[in-house]
Amino acid sequence: MSVQPKVKIFSDFDGTITLYDTWIEMGERFIKNKEKWAEVIKSFEEQKIGARECFLAECALIEDFDKNEFDRIIDSQRLDPMFLQFVDFCSVRNLPFMILSEGMDYYIKRILDNNGLDIPFYANKLVISEDNNRIGLEFPNADSDCTKCGTSKRNILMNNTADDEISVFIGDGFSDACAVNYADIVFAKKSLASYCWKNNITYHEYQTFGDIKKKLERIIENKKLKHRDAAKIKRREVFLRG
């Protein structure tokens, strides 16, 4: 009797686990120069600048920051309606689950705490001034050889998945584009689904975590877990480069 490989699940946060992007909602409140902000976002989406440069440019546009107001924005965030059931599914099946986010640690932890969740996560670090009127950013999970990503989702996914394990990545946006090239099973929606389709990356489209749960159950029960050849080759190339 063959033993199925172990599955490791990695997920984006903003717009994937949460219904909306907390950072964007913060910007809508504290960035007054909407035209300049739109230019920054457009440059990021067109890959003229990376996530790090985008976030720092957005920070520079923030005016009249107020921590209490920011906390209210955070506390208003809602999760995907099926996410808690998905977390239970992972717990019952003993499937390790980890969040990889280009968002900020401060609000991710607060949202998880608000929902009674203890999930390991990697994210950028938000630094709030002592007077609570200014914010800065640090990037503890960046790749020293890549200036684009704030949090190197690719590196974290690869470093946390052994050769005999199957990596699952769940995402929705531009910040997930790099990681999906290296994941064995991809669940994508919105612009990430478009990216996968354009770049010939096999993926499963989803609307909620309920869709992901059903599909993963079928894959596991039908013993269809396997490495994606293209991803395996890309992972090998990274390791060979050192």
On whether residue 228 sits in a domain, the answer given is yes
Q: Identify whether 49 is part of a domain.
A: no
Mean pLDDT of 44-50: 89
- Taking the C-alpha atoms of residue 13 and residue 171, their distance in angstroms, rounded to an integer, is 8
Q: Report the number of distinct structural domains present in the chain.
A: 1
pLDDT of 85 reads 98
Please check whether residue 232 lies inside any domain of the structure: yes
pTM of the complete model: 0.95
Task: Please indicate, yes or no, if residue 94 is contained in any of the structural domains.
Answer: yes
* Residue 187 lies inside a defined structural domain of this protein: yes
Domain of 86?
6-18+80-241
What tens digit of pLDDT does each residue of 157-195 get? 999 999 999 999 999 998 999 999 999 999 999 999 999
Q: If you average pLDDT over every residue of the chain, what do you get? A: 95
- CATH number of 158's domain: 3.40.50.1000
Structural domain includes residue 23: no
Cα–chain center distance at 231? 18
Model confidence at 145, pLDDT cuts 50, 70, 90, reads: confident
Q: Predicted confidence band at 1 (pLDDT cuts at 50, 70, 90)? A: very low
> What pLDDT was estimated at residue 52?
92
38 lies in some domain: no
Give the DSSP H or E segment for 75: helix 67-75
- In contact, 73 and 25? CB cutoff 8 Å: yes
* Residues 123 and 106 sit within 8 Å (Cβ to Cβ): no
pLDDT over 80 (residue 242): no
**What strand order describes the sheet that includes 135-138?**
135-138, 121-128, 97-104, 6-11, 165-171, 185-188, 204-205
Is the residue at 33 inside a domain? Answer: no
- Mean pLDDT for 58-71 is 96
